[in-house]
Structure 1
Amino acid sequence: MGTSHTKATQEAAVVHLLADDAGMTVYIGCPDSLGGEDGRTALADFYHAVLGWQLYDAYGTFFLSRSPQFRIGFDGDGWSDQRPPRWPDPEYPQQIHLDIAVPDLDAAGTRVLAAGGALLQDDADHRVYADPAGHPLCLYPDPSRTTTGPAVARLVYDCFSPRSLARFYEGFIGVPERLEDSPERVVIDLDDDELPDLAFQHAQLLAPRWPDPAYPAQLHVDYRFTVDHELPHFQTPAAKAAMARAQELGAIHLQNVVYADPAGHPFCF
């Protein structure tokens, strides 16, 4: 069921089960309008300025991608005018955010501000910004990225019990190794240079209840476990096995190919 991946520095069979092609797509919810501009266009342009990745339009949806395995999409699903993100207010939560590794923190921060973002918090080892719609994102300095440019280092989930949610994703994606492990924060290693690691941090917040706009999920993730050009990916044996595995581990089937993890975060196949 799994696939083999090649790391940039060494040949290695990666343990995760995600596909080589679009194995993970993170969708950021966009308002209809933002600053007098189409919301999807505005946020796509913002993240393009921050990351410098290829920006393209596929069937009416904007995507950013640096490699075939991982991409960021922009659509209206998950956005709620009733409860837009206002970090760190738990009444207006952002249940998932991006940790972005950048070669130069000051230069990257300047790009964020020039593109319409706002500085929310300046800590010793990272800075928290908001994109023009209010979604928080964190920038971490990583001088090793001088030649390769910015990358999404982690996809960070807010949840009440990090260890419990980490166990779900370890079983679901097939990842056994933790880079961090404490009651407050767990990071699991996808061991793949093209995909972000998954992090889970303790937070007391309103959990998402998709598709209720009063309890929105500002971001959601699509997972692909195989590529078969003869079948839609969610109808492949690997995807069907992943759906069954997700439910065995505690996920809830919400609608069609939409599921929710045990903490309520929706995800799709």
Structure 2
Amino acid sequence: MAHLLADDAGMTVYIGCPRLLGGEDGGTVLSDFYLAVLGWPRYDAYGTFFLSRSPKFRIGFDGDGWSEQRPPRWPDPEYPQQLHFDIAVPDLDAAGTRVTAAGGVLLRDDADHRVYADPTGHPICLYPSEAVTAPTVARLVYDCFSPRSLARFYEGFLGAPERLEDSPERVVLDLGDDDLPNPAFQHAEFPAPRWPDPAYPAQLHVDYRFTVDYETPHYLTPAAKAAMARAEELGAIHLRNAVYADPAGHPFCF
């Protein structure tokens, strides 16, 4: 294992969702959509829905990061996506049909992938891949002005020294773990997130766990404290309690 993340809930990506969506509970609607797209087991923990196919990685749905003032409207830079999933699928047409049947909207059809919006407007990209037999979240993609600069932060923070792609426009790190999405960074110009300002929302954010210790809150363990110090040394800003922002403004938690 190349990275420093824990084997249990090492990475949780929260997708912001409104309290109500079409008159229904927003977390239910959005988790229904991703359940149809990914086919992963779903569970409810303390009122928040999660999808997970591995103990290491899960997707949660809550209102933190959602803003009625500036919902995502890709590709409009004034309503930015901030982060999005690249999902590898064995059959692009079949996967696209599942997305639209579940309430997604096709935004763009490129030669090598398709961009869809989920029911709240968050974009996702589908890539055909012969390497997978079921939908897989292959990459978590960060929009930022300088991909190489932000990649250096996450290389040191997560312990991922290998790059699968490396150009001024796009960098992809290799976590060396099939259960986790690889962090990727692409050039974009947009209003950066300013959590918790609803005029500059985060849209998605990540919780990181660096050790498994059920006797101590995970953000207070020695490994978490070391990761916090490492993050600050690499350029992160401490926002509140266990909430930090990376050098591009994306908030993340311990």
- How far apart, CA to CA, are the structure 1 residues paired with 2:215 and 2:203? 32
**Cα deviations across residues 56-106 of structure 1 (Å, max 9, x unaligned)?**
001111000010000000000000000000000000001000000111000
> Which residue of 141, 144, 164 corresponds with 1:156?
141
Pair 1:29 & 2:11 matched: no
Runs of 4+ in 1 over 2 A off after TM superposition: none
- How far apart, CA to CA, are the structure 1 residues paired with 2:42 and 2:22? 20
Aligned to 1:227: 212
Aligned to 1:97: 84
Aligned to 1:5: none
Q: Is the partner of 1:138 in helix, strand or coil?
A: strand
- How far apart, CA to CA, are the structure 2 residues paired with 1:15 and 1:154? 16
- How far apart, CA to CA, are the structure 1 residues paired with 2:206 and 2:150? 15
> Which residue of 122, 129, 149 corresponds with 1:135?
122
- Paired residues in the alignment total 254
Aligned to 1:266: 251
- How far apart, CA to CA, are the structure 1 residues paired with 2:215 and 2:196? 31
- How far apart, CA to CA, are the structure 1 residues paired with 2:98 and 2:40? 14
The alignment's C-alpha RMSD in Å is: 0.5
Aligned to 2:66: 79
TM (normalized to structure 2)? Answer: 0.99
Aligned to 1:215: 200
Q: Is the partner of 1:242 in helix, strand or coil?
A: helix
Retained in 1: the 8 A contact 2:2–2:177?
Answer: no
> Which residue of 130, 136, 145 corresponds with 2:132?
145
- How far apart, CA to CA, are the structure 1 residues paired with 2:109 and 2:24? 29
Give the residue type in structure 1 aligned to 2:109.
D
Identity, % of aligned positions: 83
- How far apart, CA to CA, are the structure 2 residues paired with 1:65 and 1:229? 20
In structure 1, stretches of 5+ residues that fail to align are 1-13
Deviation at 1:35, TM superposition (A): 1.4
> Which residue of 74, 82, 100 corresponds with 1:113?
100
Pair 1:16 & 2:3 matched: yes
- How far apart, CA to CA, are the structure 2 residues paired with 1:201 and 1:144? 23
Give the residue type in structure 2 aligned to 1:217.
A
In structure 2, stretches of 5+ residues that fail to align are none
**Cα deviations across residues 102-157 of structure 1 (Å, max 9, x unaligned)?**
110000000000000000000010000000000000000112322xx111000000
Deviation at 1:174, TM superposition (A): 0.6
